[in-house]
Structure 1
Amino acid sequence: MKFSYVNPTVIHFGQGQIVQITNSIPKDSKVLVIYGGGSIKKNGVYDQVTAALGDHEWLEFSGVEANPTKETLDKAIDIVKAENVTYLLAVGGGSVIDGTKYVAAASLHDGDSWDLITGVYKPETAIPLGVVLTLPATGSESNMGAVVTKKATQEKLGFLSPTVRPAFAVLDPDAMKTLPERQLINGLVDAWVHVCEQYITSPTGHMVQEGYAEVLLRNLIVLGDSFEQRDDAWRANLMWTANQALNGLIGTGMPQDWATHMIGHQLTALWHVDHARSLAIVQPSLLRSQMEFKQGKIEQMGRNVFGLSSSDDLAERTINAIEAFYAKLKVDTRLSEVEGDKSEAVEAVIKKLEDNGYLKLGENQAITIDVSRQILENAL
């Protein structure tokens, strides 16, 4: 176990913390507030943000989609360049935050913004950004990753850069009160798979990372079980658990998978399947296909997360328990959202994987194109 770890994002957690924006952004900044479809104007978040920016010069950009597109974000980049914006404030969930990270980095590039995704442009700096989180799910509020969709080519791809890690993030659970149930469920599932991608690999003996991952998974089970009794504590615990699931800590020094995400992203890009639900479709089939490598960790998860007793079929019972977790939340684990010939859907996803160079996925690079095809066929 050898690693270097730092997470410099300042977290302002709790009710009423949006006021922290006032002193978190330098007063001489020109701020662009970026948000989505306008729900923040209905739940009071927008009013709190504008009040906190009372001493700042600021303008706004709205309309960032649930899966942010290059085409929309390029419009924000044009504003940043034309108005000499010096600070960005993302107000929303993971999609708004990811999109803002893209704007932060690409705005300092003279070429095509997609160069950031292809690696043609490697940012050495970015416009600083802060976050007001309204939907807990991705952990994007305090990590250095982002995923963006290119609508023209139906590609959903990501990038990592320490230059776009937010300087601060406000996590006020009250911002969740008006969220639809579907979005809350998606947040639960997304956080769950984030932990799994860093945990279900092979036993490492890293007691802190593995033990903490198991705590987070147990948290999410409890939150799922008590979904109908949501209160202030429930919202606060989901918001903090989702943050800890992907702030970099539990993956530090650990083997990581992420194949479920790479395959699931294609379902979202092609058919607009909710991101979290695309993960639930892929994950159980993927785990069964990789039993040769993952059995020990799956069994550990069965014992330490689900409280299952040891047996010859413990790994399969654990995967069944994962599927039951999704079922309780009414999240499908089959490719039901794609209409028409499912075999054609499989081949469409495979072509996208090939086009993007995802020829070998997973912590062991054992998920070849043929294995990806089998995973998808088994998820039908």
Structure 2
Amino acid sequence: MLNFEFYNPTRIIFGTDTIQRIHDFVPSDARVLMLYGGESARKNGTLDEVRTALGQREIQEFGGIEPNPSYETLMKAVELIREQKLDFLLAVGGGSVIDGTKFIAAAVNYAGDEWQILETHGAKITQALPFGSVLTLPATGSEMNSGGVVTRKSTQTKLAFGSSHVFPQFSVLDPNKTYSLPVRQLANGVVDAFIHVMEQYLTYSVNAQVQDRFAESLLQTLIEIAPKVVEESADYDTRANLMWTATMALNGLIGAGVPQDWSTHMIGHELTALHNIDHARTLAIVLPANMQVRRAQKRDKLLQYAERVWHIVDGDEEQRIDAAIARTRAFFEDLGLPTRLADYQLGAKDIDEVIKQLEAHKLTKLGEHQDISLDVSRRILEASL
């Protein structure tokens, strides 16, 4: 097991009717900006619940944070906070709203060009406004980690950032909030969480038995509940298990002391920025091809994954690896997420553009061994056609 330092200060408030608990964790004299995405949080009553929980505190609203939050929109919120001298942020939504809130919290008092926060992947963050979140879409784990991703529309640049200063102080997780979600978003959430785990698990062994078994249990849970999640009749416990699994997939625990990959995400980000494909759907395109192209580097873990997660024990080693990759692809497709670029009317001619973006963003050495060159990224994309 590798050396590691684990730190996670986020308080989780989980369960039915827990939004009212916000009152206990926001300072009584706070001047609050409530941030959200579209109008669904208003229509389903979540914003009203949050407002009631905040009681007599001063509250302002900022809506319209997009899926794949844009720098341009987030900077409008930064200016509003500065003008109104607001001092506490409350994100109400899924990962995009929470990611955007993290950037806003860091940008408000940043001395310099705020874009530097993203260009340096968060390295220049020294402080941030306090904030909490109310999770409405389980997927990204942003409610219990210190990272985020923001897109600059004007340059089609999607960059990740992270800092210990942007952990939420608290996050409310009420599985009842998933009842109004469309099937597409629920399916995306399952796949997003699944691939978050894979980025930390499917690398090479360092004899981290706890992390491996924990990761495998999360993958098995997602496989087990996925068919139920996408049914309208999904019960509370199914939704609760999805919500908690997605949180645990990216709160730092399974990634502590183990090598991590994240190349699927880096390549997927460029597909989202260029072609506006849902984040989880780009991951579903890239991961099976990534597994295939890099099967030699990941051989031992692929065999472990095949046996422990999919219970594949028949055939020789190559056949078992083939079967594990095929089962992974089928899992995504059964949830309604296509796994080929062609499914999005993209072909060989579009690969050059993705490679140019990876080069422009200095993403020329990816993966757990930093051996994914632009040529290897090209091979992964070609295997995704």
Q: Per the shorter chain, which TM-score range?
A: over 0.9
Structure 1 runs not aligned, ≥5 long: none
* 1:307-345 C-alpha deviation (Å, 9 max, x unpaired): 1115322111111110111121121110135436x1221
Q: Structure 1-normalised TM-score?
A: 0.98
Show the counterpart of 1:51.
52
Distance 1:70 1:337, change over 3 A: farther
Matched AA of 1:185 = A
Show the counterpart of 2:367.
362
Say whether residues 1:379 and 2:381 are aligned partners.
Answer: no
Correspondences of 1:1-380 after superposition (within 5 Å): 1=1, 2-119=3-120, 122-227=124-229, 228=231, 229-312=233-316, 313-339=319-345, 342-380=347-385
SS of equivalent to 2:194: helix
* 1:129-160 C-alpha deviation (Å, 9 max, x unpaired): 10000000000001000000000000111101
* 1:322-378 C-alpha deviation (Å, 9 max, x unpaired): 0111121121110135436x1221011000000000111100112110010111011
Q: Structure 2-normalised TM-score?
A: 0.96
Q: Is the contact between residue 149 and residue 155 of structure 1 (CA under 8 Å) also seen in structure 2?
A: yes
Counterpart CA distance in 1 for 2:219 and 2:78 is 38
SS of equivalent to 1:360: coil
Residue 81 of structure 1 deviates from its aligned partner by 0.7
Counterpart CA distance in 2 for 1:242 and 1:287 is 22
Counterpart CA distance in 2 for 1:339 and 1:201 is 31
Counterpart CA distance in 2 for 1:226 and 1:109 is 45
Counterpart CA distance in 1 for 2:206 and 2:163 is 27
SS of equivalent to 2:154: coil
Residue 225 of structure 1 deviates from its aligned partner by 2.9
Identity of aligned residues (%): 49
Q: Is the contact between residue 123 and residue 163 of structure 2 (CA under 8 Å) also seen in structure 1?
A: no
Q: Is the contact between residue 32 and residue 85 of structure 1 (CA under 8 Å) also seen in structure 2?
A: yes
SS of equivalent to 1:292: coil
Deviation larger for 102-111 or 66-75: 102-111
Counterpart CA distance in 2 for 1:178 and 1:368 is 42
Residue 121 of structure 1 deviates from its aligned partner by 6.7
SS of equivalent to 1:25: coil
* RMSD of aligned residue pairs (Cα, Å): 1.2
SS of equivalent to 1:111: coil
Counterpart CA distance in 1 for 2:65 and 2:127 is 23
Counterpart CA distance in 2 for 1:12 and 1:155 is 34
SS of equivalent to 2:350: helix
Q: Is the contact between residue 22 and residue 53 of structure 1 (CA under 8 Å) also seen in structure 2?
A: yes
Counterpart CA distance in 2 for 1:163 and 1:143 is 10
Counterpart CA distance in 1 for 2:137 and 2:342 is 25
Counterpart CA distance in 1 for 2:365 and 2:111 is 33
Q: Is the contact between residue 115 and residue 121 of structure 1 (CA under 8 Å) also seen in structure 2?
A: no
Matched AA of 1:324 = A
Matched AA of 1:339 = Q
Deviation larger for 125-134 or 302-311: 302-311
Counterpart CA distance in 1 for 2:351 and 2:56 is 53
Distance 1:244 1:121, change over 3 A: closer
Q: Is the contact between residue 90 and residue 132 of structure 2 (CA under 8 Å) also seen in structure 1?
A: yes
Residue 113 of structure 1 deviates from its aligned partner by 1.7
